Amino acid sequence: MISEYSDATADDTAPLALKILVAGGFGVGKTTLVGAVSEIRPLRTEELLSQAGQLVDDTDGVDQKVTTTVAMDFGRITIRAGLSLYLFGTPGQDRFWFLWDELSQGALGAVVLADTRRLEDCFPAVDYFEHRRIPFVVAVNCFAGARTYGSQEVCRALDLDRGTPVVLCDARDRDSGKEVLIRLVEYAGRVHTARLLDSVG
Protein backbone atom coordinates (compact mmCIF):
# COMPACT_ATOMS: atom_id res chain seq x y z
CA MET A 1 0.00 0.00 0.00
CA ILE A 2 2.98 2.28 0.53
CA SER A 3 5.39 2.57 -2.35
CA GLU A 4 8.97 3.70 -1.91
CA TYR A 5 11.17 5.34 -4.50
CA SER A 6 14.51 3.72 -5.12
CA ASP A 7 16.46 6.98 -4.94
CA ALA A 8 17.52 6.98 -1.31
CA THR A 9 18.62 10.14 0.42
CA ALA A 10 22.03 10.56 2.03
CA ASP A 11 20.81 8.88 5.23
CA ASP A 12 19.42 5.92 3.27
CA THR A 13 15.79 6.78 3.99
CA ALA A 14 13.66 6.70 0.87
CA PRO A 15 10.83 9.19 0.45
CA LEU A 16 7.33 7.75 0.68
CA ALA A 17 4.67 8.10 -1.99
CA LEU A 18 1.16 7.24 -0.84
CA LYS A 19 -1.76 6.60 -3.16
CA ILE A 20 -5.03 8.30 -2.19
CA LEU A 21 -8.41 8.08 -3.91
CA VAL A 22 -10.85 10.98 -4.10
CA ALA A 23 -14.36 9.65 -4.61
CA GLY A 24 -17.97 10.70 -4.32
CA GLY A 25 -21.07 11.43 -6.35
CA PHE A 26 -21.44 13.16 -9.67
CA GLY A 27 -20.60 16.87 -9.49
CA VAL A 28 -19.53 16.86 -5.83
CA GLY A 29 -16.16 18.54 -6.43
CA LYS A 30 -13.62 15.74 -6.88
CA THR A 31 -11.88 17.37 -9.87
CA THR A 32 -11.94 20.71 -8.06
CA LEU A 33 -10.29 19.25 -4.94
CA VAL A 34 -7.53 17.48 -6.86
CA GLY A 35 -6.86 20.63 -8.88
CA ALA A 36 -6.83 22.88 -5.82
CA VAL A 37 -4.24 20.91 -3.86
CA SER A 38 -2.03 19.53 -6.63
CA GLU A 39 1.44 21.05 -6.89
CA ILE A 40 1.72 19.83 -10.47
CA ARG A 41 -0.62 20.56 -13.32
CA PRO A 42 -3.35 17.97 -12.71
CA LEU A 43 -4.18 15.38 -15.31
CA ARG A 44 -7.87 15.54 -16.14
CA THR A 45 -10.02 13.35 -18.35
CA GLU A 46 -13.04 15.61 -18.63
CA GLU A 47 -15.44 15.58 -21.53
CA LEU A 48 -18.44 17.74 -22.32
CA LEU A 49 -21.75 16.33 -21.14
CA SER A 50 -23.68 14.95 -24.07
CA GLN A 51 -27.38 14.49 -24.69
CA ALA A 52 -26.83 10.73 -24.61
CA GLY A 53 -25.18 11.02 -21.22
CA GLN A 54 -28.05 13.07 -19.83
CA LEU A 55 -30.27 10.02 -20.30
CA VAL A 56 -28.18 7.97 -17.84
CA ASP A 57 -26.51 10.56 -15.56
CA ASP A 58 -28.46 12.16 -12.73
CA THR A 59 -27.77 15.90 -13.06
CA ASP A 60 -30.38 17.07 -10.55
CA GLY A 61 -28.81 19.72 -8.35
CA VAL A 62 -25.82 20.22 -10.65
CA ASP A 63 -27.61 21.81 -13.59
CA GLN A 64 -24.69 24.19 -14.31
CA LYS A 65 -22.20 21.33 -14.76
CA VAL A 66 -21.10 21.05 -18.40
CA THR A 67 -18.22 18.55 -18.18
CA THR A 68 -17.63 15.22 -16.48
CA THR A 69 -14.67 12.99 -15.61
CA VAL A 70 -14.65 9.87 -17.77
CA ALA A 71 -11.58 8.07 -16.42
CA MET A 72 -9.79 9.79 -13.55
CA ASP A 73 -8.14 12.93 -12.24
CA PHE A 74 -4.52 12.80 -11.12
CA GLY A 75 -2.48 15.15 -8.99
CA ARG A 76 0.38 15.21 -6.49
CA ILE A 77 0.95 17.06 -3.24
CA THR A 78 3.93 17.03 -0.88
CA ILE A 79 2.67 16.93 2.70
CA ARG A 80 6.15 17.31 4.21
CA ALA A 81 9.72 16.50 3.26
CA GLY A 82 9.87 12.86 2.23
CA LEU A 83 6.08 12.34 2.09
CA SER A 84 4.08 12.84 -1.10
CA LEU A 85 0.51 11.92 -1.91
CA TYR A 86 -0.58 10.81 -5.35
CA LEU A 87 -4.24 11.66 -5.80
CA PHE A 88 -6.56 9.70 -8.06
CA GLY A 89 -10.01 11.20 -8.53
CA THR A 90 -12.61 8.60 -9.48
CA PRO A 91 -15.45 9.19 -11.95
CA GLY A 92 -18.77 9.73 -10.21
CA GLN A 93 -21.27 8.17 -12.61
CA ASP A 94 -22.54 4.62 -12.19
CA ARG A 95 -21.45 3.64 -15.70
CA PHE A 96 -17.77 4.26 -14.88
CA TRP A 97 -17.63 2.28 -11.62
CA PHE A 98 -15.77 -0.55 -13.31
CA LEU A 99 -12.69 1.71 -13.14
CA TRP A 100 -12.79 1.86 -9.34
CA ASP A 101 -11.26 -1.59 -8.81
CA GLU A 102 -8.22 -0.65 -10.88
CA LEU A 103 -7.83 2.75 -9.26
CA SER A 104 -8.15 1.36 -5.73
CA GLN A 105 -5.26 -1.11 -6.09
CA GLY A 106 -2.55 -0.18 -3.60
CA ALA A 107 -4.43 2.79 -2.14
CA LEU A 108 -3.66 3.76 1.45
CA GLY A 109 -7.10 5.29 1.84
CA ALA A 110 -9.76 7.49 0.31
CA VAL A 111 -11.56 10.79 0.66
CA VAL A 112 -15.31 10.53 0.07
CA LEU A 113 -16.58 13.97 -0.87
CA ALA A 114 -20.17 14.67 0.11
CA ASP A 115 -22.70 17.36 -0.73
CA THR A 116 -25.41 17.66 1.93
CA ARG A 117 -27.91 18.67 -0.76
CA ARG A 118 -27.39 15.27 -2.42
CA LEU A 119 -26.02 13.20 0.45
CA GLU A 120 -27.37 9.94 -0.93
CA ASP A 121 -24.98 10.27 -3.89
CA CYS A 122 -22.01 9.30 -1.73
CA PHE A 123 -23.60 6.08 -0.41
CA PRO A 124 -22.05 3.93 -3.18
CA ALA A 125 -18.54 5.22 -2.38
CA VAL A 126 -19.03 4.67 1.36
CA ASP A 127 -20.26 1.12 0.72
CA TYR A 128 -17.40 0.42 -1.70
CA PHE A 129 -14.65 1.38 0.76
CA GLU A 130 -16.34 -0.22 3.77
CA HIS A 131 -16.72 -3.56 1.98
CA ARG A 132 -13.10 -3.51 0.80
CA ARG A 133 -11.81 -2.35 4.20
CA ILE A 134 -10.13 0.71 2.68
CA PRO A 135 -9.88 3.46 5.33
CA PHE A 136 -11.67 6.66 4.34
CA VAL A 137 -12.79 10.01 5.64
CA VAL A 138 -15.97 11.79 4.59
CA ALA A 139 -15.28 15.39 3.57
CA VAL A 140 -18.41 17.53 3.36
CA ASN A 141 -17.89 20.07 0.60
CA CYS A 142 -19.57 23.22 1.90
CA PHE A 143 -21.35 24.70 -1.11
CA ALA A 144 -22.64 28.27 -0.92
CA GLY A 145 -26.31 28.36 0.00
CA ALA A 146 -26.39 24.78 1.28
CA ARG A 147 -27.61 24.13 4.81
CA THR A 148 -24.75 23.41 7.21
CA TYR A 149 -24.83 20.14 9.14
CA GLY A 150 -22.50 19.04 11.91
CA SER A 151 -20.16 16.09 11.52
CA GLN A 152 -22.23 13.94 13.89
CA GLU A 153 -25.39 14.58 11.88
CA VAL A 154 -23.63 13.54 8.67
CA CYS A 155 -22.15 10.48 10.41
CA ARG A 156 -25.61 9.34 11.52
CA ALA A 157 -27.21 10.08 8.14
CA LEU A 158 -24.59 7.94 6.36
CA ASP A 159 -24.62 5.24 9.06
CA LEU A 160 -20.82 5.28 9.16
CA ASP A 161 -18.76 2.78 11.10
CA ARG A 162 -17.70 4.05 14.48
CA GLY A 163 -14.58 6.21 14.31
CA THR A 164 -14.87 7.13 10.62
CA PRO A 165 -13.87 10.83 10.48
CA VAL A 166 -16.23 13.43 9.03
CA VAL A 167 -14.71 16.81 8.22
CA LEU A 168 -16.04 20.01 6.66
CA CYS A 169 -14.09 21.50 3.78
CA ASP A 170 -14.06 23.83 0.81
CA ALA A 171 -12.83 21.82 -2.18
CA ARG A 172 -11.73 25.04 -3.90
CA ASP A 173 -9.33 25.99 -1.11
CA ARG A 174 -5.86 24.44 -1.10
CA ASP A 175 -5.32 24.68 2.66
CA SER A 176 -8.74 23.19 3.38
CA GLY A 177 -8.10 20.31 0.99
CA LYS A 178 -4.65 19.71 2.44
CA GLU A 179 -6.13 19.46 5.96
CA VAL A 180 -8.55 16.80 4.71
CA LEU A 181 -5.67 14.79 3.23
CA ILE A 182 -3.60 15.06 6.42
CA ARG A 183 -6.58 13.86 8.44
CA LEU A 184 -6.96 10.89 6.09
CA VAL A 185 -3.27 9.92 6.25
CA GLU A 186 -3.33 10.06 10.05
CA TYR A 187 -6.53 8.01 10.26
CA ALA A 188 -5.44 5.44 7.66
CA GLY A 189 -2.11 5.08 9.45
CA ARG A 190 -3.88 4.25 12.72
CA VAL A 191 -6.19 1.75 11.00
CA HIS A 192 -3.36 -0.08 9.20
CA THR A 193 -1.23 -0.15 12.35
CA ALA A 194 -4.10 -1.63 14.38
CA ARG A 195 -4.70 -4.31 11.73
CA LEU A 196 -1.00 -5.18 11.66
CA LEU A 197 -0.92 -5.55 15.44
CA ASP A 198 -4.06 -7.71 15.33
CA SER A 199 -2.49 -9.98 12.72
CA VAL A 200 0.58 -10.67 14.85
CA GLY A 201 -1.16 -10.70 18.23
Structure confidence by residue, pLDDT tens digits, 13-49: 678 999 999 999 888 999 999 999 999 998 866 555 4
Statement: residue 139 has pLDDT above 90: yes
pLDDT at 121: 92
Q: How confident is the model at residue 60 (pLDDT cuts 50, 70, 90)?
A: low
Q: What is the mean pLDDT of residues 84-112?
A: 87
Q: Specify the pLDDT at position 91.
A: 84
Q: What is the pLDDT of residues 156-182, one digit of tens each?
A: 999 999 999 999 999 999 999 999 999
Nearest to 137 by CA among 94, 182, 176, 106: 182
CA 114, 117, 119, 124 dihedral sign is: negative
User: Of how many residues is the chain composed?
Assistant: 201
Residue 145 has a pLDDT of 81
Lowest mean pLDDT among 28-42, 64-78, 126-140: 64-78
pLDDT of residue 3 exceeding 90, the answer is no
Nearest in space to 154 (alpha carbons), one of 137, 135, 171: 137
d(Cα 149, Cα 116) in Å, to the nearest integer?
8
Whether the CB-CB separation of 5 and 76 falls below 8 Å is answered with no
Residue 159 falls in which region: left (phi positive, over 0), alpha (psi -120 to 50) or beta: left
Q: Parallel, antiparallel, or unpaired for β 166-169 and 136-141? A: parallel
Q: Is the dihedral angle over the CA atoms 87, 88, 89, 92 positive or is it negative?
A: negative
Q: What are phi and psi of 17, to 5 degrees?
A: -125, 115
User: Which of 28-32, 62-66, 123-127, 179-183 has the weakest average pLDDT?
Assistant: 62-66
> Residue 95: which pLDDT band, with cuts at 50, 70 and 90?
low
Report the amino acid identity of residue 58.
D
Average pLDDT score, the chain: 84
Single-letter residue type at 155: C
pLDDT of residue 167: 97
Q: For residues 56 and 29, which has the higher predicted lDDT (pLDDT)? A: 29
CA angle 120, 124, 130 (to 5 degrees): 120
The answer to whether 39 and 77 have CB atoms below 8 angstroms apart is yes
Give the whole-angstrom CA distance, residue 162 versus residue 139. 16
